[in-house]
Chains A and B, each alone.
Chain A
């Protein structure tokens, strides 16, 4: 006898929590796979405790006699530790504190580390005295679906009163307060054979495939491989199972093409053999070490998958089955054999078959007193009866547990014998062995339906997804020998499918007991609440209620009662819930329904899914070659798609952005300005078929363009609306340089590739994005020619005669080959100078130095916008996908002499309707009120209803040239209405004003400046 006797009392808990060196009164002196040479200090609800390396938080709490660890979701019932794995529905705790606080973590999976801080959840003021437990008294009122019925009236109370109250009372943990301080990574792995689960079956599968030479990846959720071998007293090849597992692991480590990831959970099977897994890189440490992420999200591409994920023991539904001290029988063995903890001193074992007898033997060996064994079968094998008698344990054959007593912990168990007679037995531990459900979850993620297996009273994988094999307990084959043999078989098969033939390893000797089991899911008519779903507080009565009210399909049952919808995804509840329903319907389980599973197997932090793509690195950014120069010269930047563009260059003394923008725009109109236009899309279209392709994609005729000339082009979508605009420069007979808007660069490239590859593959032409090859600078203003002349190397004649508007030449700047295009977006004399990226910054410095005497002014996208609105050039606001070329004043650019994409559909009646909106200018009637883009246009005096809408404002700005706000708008029959007044209504922002309709070209309507 090496553990203390007697039931846990509050006094014992106090003993363990004193200020003196903490002890572990329930720790076994020998055995287990913990490191007794070191202790780890941790806290639970602020009390200090000690554990050992190798412990989970759950085992360490049990070693310290802490058995009340949580309050339940709805009724705030005291809850303890039910399981020893991922299925845990009760022992959910908050881990860490502050921004690292993580709610709803399973104490059964948390590796203990020095300084671990955990707190219980969903209790107030404390775990021991939880006032929310009063909910238990109102249980009749808050059964399944209560909120649909109870809080119906008045309807307005739901959102403001009822829902917040219910949510607060039925809480899980609290989300952390601050942004997550940890890093997360995403990474990719490729393998021939992916083995999910490192128990007996998985180890053999990995060994078989690995020895055959396949690239193997073995994922183990736990810190150590071995699976149930770590928790059972049994031998493999004449050695303890855990030792055999370690030895296989060592051999796998020597195989160069085998990789093992421990602490890694495969949580989803996706299409194409992709499995996603979460590696808890640093969750077993107080915080991640420098340069390591907290968790890593693996995307694994596997040619074959061997699912060897084991099985989950299921609880039995009987009155009081949720009381702390009631535990799964397999978990009891885990705590005794693996963690060297005695979860109770006086035990009752309630079993439906042979399996529970293992717990009887292991508990007795560890020093617990077996008070009773309740075996639901009609008869038990002689050896088991003999064991009970040796242990002086009461054996109740054909019996049931019908109730439990205890406050915060189990003190006695109510047992009914086969004849129905009841008696109470004092106990602090009740182990229940109702059979095991295969962990077949991954086999369902692509829609596979499990199949009911009458022999083991459980679902087994049905039709498997392509490329998957299943071995061992995950297939419902529970003997160790079968697991080893099936693992080897599936490993050999998977490797063979990948081209690696082998005979497979010899199958080690191991137990091969068939494991007799009676179906035992539910003990009806017991005492007290009998829980089906522990985490969501769903009882057998809730299932019966759902049935009475017509929610009989499993899908309805689930949604009506919330069974299986908690964070544990019903790992211990789904099959049992179905069985309870089947008892009521009388149709049997397969006739009542099946349960299936969706990803993820266990919850995955959003941070892990986002990986490094957060904050500034949410997506990659694009910067022009002039970015650094602009930043150094006072630019602030605006994001345009992935690009950063300089929006204006603030100077000392400027009160706000308007000052900067007005100054920049006026400088262009009066002298010369420079603007970085490198972000505009640039495509080089080269080859004998280039002109023909461009004639197809552009509305206007491109093939007639002379070499050395530039044309403004408009591109239509298939449906006849405008897609994009830009310029086309002909650099050589078979070489064109095309520009697009910044926003549409990718789309236009894609469109042109489509047109070439699909519509005109006969054309010998290639398309190449050269956006990143050029630092492109717009030089605009009456002094632009002077500046260009000062910057480029001497020789070329750039006079108006030699280089007129819409012409281009090659030039050099300090010996660097550049291109000079004369084109204007601002309405001024303007050029674009293309400089190879590496020389962009140097060229800009040269422009600024040589332009200083001319007063050269850098201008940003805002001033660019002002200049083009003043000039009435359409841009993003007008190219909104709802405008035709005619609408925006480009109708003449769609040639009628040739066909082009979109031309036919642009001739649809509605698109050529003279009543359509067209581009107009607007000036405020009072000469000063700003007009807002997005405002709607109405006849003055007309009723404000949608059907009376006359159009809308597409772009607006303050015009420093005119000294008043101006706007561009799309107005029905706009051309006929120049000079009229219109109401500009912006109800969302309380804007209501009158404006005068005018030409969209506010500055230099004749265009003399551009061509000068």
Chain B
């Protein structure tokens, strides 16, 4: 049969039509891209392994272990705090089925320091940027987004409307905000983001 390969479909495929949304004139206030390319895994600290985990991450991936409500990055890798003793690890450097190697690689490196569970495709992840991104996000999440409170390197678990989301600012990208929700909520989140950004003009670019 002809269907030897299976093509992946990202969580928001079809729900974020590329192009201009909302106010049509002027420079867009918000830019939106789905990060559908990511390998993802959850790390859960095992008892008493804090130091071992931090060392193993640094040694194996050059990643620092982010403390409470923070995130770190190294190359294509990002590590986002998602709760006490829990992190979401992301790798933008793998494609298609090679992404499933990420959790295996993490597990191999981290040994008994953390429990690793593959979450590739389990989260809808958006990259948001632009001069109005803070004002747009203020319509979605109740937390303080001021630079003094939520600088690059910050992360939060919060609610967008009635959806649980993880919001973080990669330490390396001044302008970028990332927001992630459960895959199944992705369409609702994409709708809410476009709605909130309409006032400022919103440019959607293709999934990366």
Residues of A within 8 A of B (CB): 185-190, 215, 290-292, 299, 301, 612-613, 617, 619-625, 628, 642-643, 684, 686-688, 734-735, 764, 766, 768-773, 813-817, 836-843, 845-846, 849-850
Q: Which of B40-48, B54-62, B69-77, B171-179 contacts A (4 or more CB under 8 A)?
A: B40-48
With contacts A188-B141, A625-B9, A843-B6 known, is A772 near B182, CB below 8 A? yes
Residue contact B117 to A684, C-beta cutoff 8 Å: yes
Number of interface residues of B (CB under 8 A): 57
Query: B108 near A: Cβ within 8 Å?
Result: no
Instruction: Find the B residue at minimum CB distance from A298.
Output: B138
11 contacts between A and B (CB under 8 A): A622-B185, A766-B45, A768-B42, A768-B44, A768-B86, A770-B119, A814-B5, A815-B5, A838-B8, A839-B6, A841-B9
Closest 6 CB pairs of A and B: A766-B44, A842-B6, A620-B188, A773-B122, A622-B184, A837-B121
The residue in chain A whose Cβ has the minimal distance to the Cβ of B6 is: A842
Please, which residues of chain B bring their CB within 8 A of the CB of A817?
97, 100
Q: Which residues of A contact B22 (CB under 8 A)?
A: 291
- Most chain B C-beta atoms within 10 Å of own C-beta, residue among A622, A840, A849: A622
Q: How far is the CA of A619 from the CA of B161 in the complex (A)?
A: 8
- Do B189 and A836 touch across chains, with their CB atoms under 8 A apart? no
Q: List the B side residues contacting A613 at CB < 8 Å.
A: 161-162
Asked whether A624 lies within 8 Å of B184 as measured between CB atoms, the reply is yes
B131 at interface by CB-CB < 8 Å: no
Q: Is the CB of A622 within 8 A of B182?
A: yes
B23 near A771 with CB under 8 A, answer no
Quick one: which of B117-144 are within 8 Å of A by CB? 117-123, 135, 138-139, 141-144
Decide yes or no whether B51 CB sits under 8 A from chain A.
no
B6 with A190: CB separation less than 8 A:
no
Q: Which residues of B contact A290 (CB under 8 A)?
A: 23
A764-B46, A766-B85 known; A816-B6 Cβ under 8 A: yes
Q: How long is the Cα–Cα vector from A839 to B100 in the complex, in angstroms?
A: 12
Q: Could you say which of A628, A769, A813, A839 has the most chain B C-beta atoms within 10 Å of its C-beta?
A: A839
How far is the CB of B40 from the nearest CB of chain A, in Å?
9
What residues of A have a CB within 8 angstroms of the CB of B42 in the complex? 768
On whether the beta carbons of B121 and A836 are closer than 8 Å, the reply is yes
Contact B162 A842, beta carbon cutoff 8 Å: no
Kindly state the separation between the CA atoms of A669 and B91 in the bound complex, as whole angstroms.
44
* Residues in A whose Cβ lies below 8 Å from that of B36: 838
Determine the chain A residues whose CB is within 8 A of the CB of B143 once the complex forms: 188
Is B139 touching A643 in the complex (CB atoms < 8 A)?
A: no
| Cβ < 8 Å to A, chain B residues 75-123 | 85-86, 97, 100, 115, 117-123
Q: Are B4 and A814 in contact (CB under 8 A)?
A: yes
Contact with A842, one of B9, B85, B118 (Cβ below 8 angstroms): B9
Given known A187-B139, A624-B184, contact A766–B5 (CB-CB < 8 A): no
Contact B117 A617 (CB under 8 A): no
The residues in B between 1 and 19 inclusive whose CB is less than 8 angstroms from any CB of A are 1, 3-11, 14
- Tell me, in angstroms, the Cα distance from A628 to B5 when the chains sit together: 20
- CB-CB under 8 A from A769, the residues of chain B are 182
Interface flag for B65 (CB, 8 Å): no
Cβ of A611 to closest chain B Cβ, rounded Å: 9
Residues of A within 8 A of B144 (CB): 190, 301
Name B's A-contacting residues (CB within 8 A). 1, 3-11, 14, 22-23, 36, 42, 44-47, 85-86, 97, 100, 115, 117-123, 135, 138-139, 141-146, 149, 161-163, 182-185, 187-189, 191-192, 195-196, 198-199
Question: What's the Cα separation between A503 and B114 when bound, in Å?
Answer: 54
Bound-state Cα–Cα, A540 to B113, Å:
79
**Max chain B CB contacts within 10 Å: which of A620, A687, A771?**
A620
- Interchain CA distance A78-B120 in the complex, whole Å: 71
Classify the secondary structure of B's interface with A.
Answer: loop
Contact B146 A190 (CB under 8 A): yes
Which residues in B have their C-beta under 8 angstroms from that of A185? 139, 196
From A684, A770, A842, B8 is in contact (CB under 8 Å) with A842
Complex contacts, B9 vs chain A, CB 8 Å: 625, 838-842
Q: Does the CB pair B195–A612 fall under 8 Å? A: yes
Contact residues in A for B189 (Cβ distance below 8 Å): 620
Interchain nearest-CB distance for A609 vs B (Å): 14
- Closest CB of chain B to A303's CB: distance in Å? 11
Chain A residue at smallest Cβ distance from B36: A838
Chain B residue with Cβ nearest A622: B184
CA distance A688 to B145 in the complex (A): 39
Partner of A686, one of B8, B44, B139, B185: B44
Known contacts A292-B199, A771-B182, A839-B6, then 9 further A-B pairs from the complex at CB < 8 Å, ordered by chain A residue: A185-B139, A290-B23, A613-B162, A620-B161, A623-B184, A814-B3, A814-B5, A816-B97, A841-B9
Query: Closest residue of chain A to B44, judged by CB?
Result: A766
Tell me how far the C-beta of B53 lies from the nearest C-beta in chain A, rounded to whole angstroms.
13
Picked from B3, B11, B44, the residue with its CB within 8 Å of the CB of A687 is B44
Contact residues in A for B139 (Cβ distance below 8 Å): 185-188
Most chain A CB atoms below 10 A, which of B47, B100, B141, B198 = B47
Q: How far is the CA of A849 from the CA of B2 in the complex (A)?
A: 10
Q: Which residues of A contact B97 (CB under 8 A)?
A: 815-817
Residue from A622, A643, A772 having most chain B Cβ neighbours under 10 A: A772
Query: B163 to A620, Cβ gap below 8 A?
Result: yes
Are A299 and B120 touching (Cβ within 8 A)?
Answer: no
Closest residue of chain A to B119 (Cβ to Cβ) is A773
A766 engages B119 (CB within 8 Å)? no
**Do the beta carbons of A623 and B187 come within 8 Å of each other?**
yes
Chain B contacts for A814, CB-based, 8 A: 3-6
Q: How far is the CA of A301 from the CA of B143 in the complex (A)?
A: 9
A623→B186 CA distance, assembly (Å): 8
- CA–CA, A642 to B118, complex, Å? 24
The answer for the CA separation of A813 and B3 in the assembled complex, in Å, is 11
Cα of A735 to Cα of B189 in the assembled complex, Å: 31
Checking A768, A772, A839, A841 against B183 with a beta-carbon cut-off of 8 angstroms, the contacting residue is A772
Contact between chains at A838 and B121 (CB < 8 Å): yes
CB distance from A696 to the nearest CB of B (A): 17
Pick from B10, B163, B198: contact of A291, CB below 8 A: B198
Complex Cα spacing A769 to B4, Å: 31
In the complex, what residue of chain B is closest to A842 when comparing beta carbons? B6
Complex contacts, A845 vs chain B, CB 8 Å: 3
For A790, give the chain B residue with the smallest CB separation.
B1
Closest to B9 in A: A841
Which A residues are CB-close (under 8 A) to B196?
185
Measured between alpha carbons, how far is A544 from B142 in the docked complex, in Å?
50
- Residue numbers in A under 8 Å from B135 (CB-CB): 187
Shortest Cβ gap from B120 to chain A (Å): 6
Q: Smallest CB–CB gap between A315 and chain B, Å?
A: 41
Asked if B184 and A215 make an inter-chain contact with CB atoms under 8 angstroms apart, the answer reads: no
Q: Which residues of A contact B192 (CB under 8 A)?
A: 612, 617, 620
What's the minimum C-beta distance from A209 to chain B, rounded to whole angstroms?
Answer: 16
Contact A836 B120, beta carbon cutoff 8 Å:
yes
Q: What is the distance, in angstroms, from A219's C-beta to the closest C-beta of chain B?
A: 16
Whether the Cβ atoms of B123 and A772 lie closer than 8 Å is: yes
**What is the distance, in angstroms, from B163's C-beta to the closest C-beta of chain A?**
5
Contact yes or no, A215 B195, CB < 8 A: no
A215 CB contact (under 8 Å) in B6, B146, B183: B146
* Cα–Cα distance between A299 and B115 once the two chains are bound (Å): 39
A687 to chain B, nearest CB (A): 6
A850 → chain B closest CB, angstroms: 7
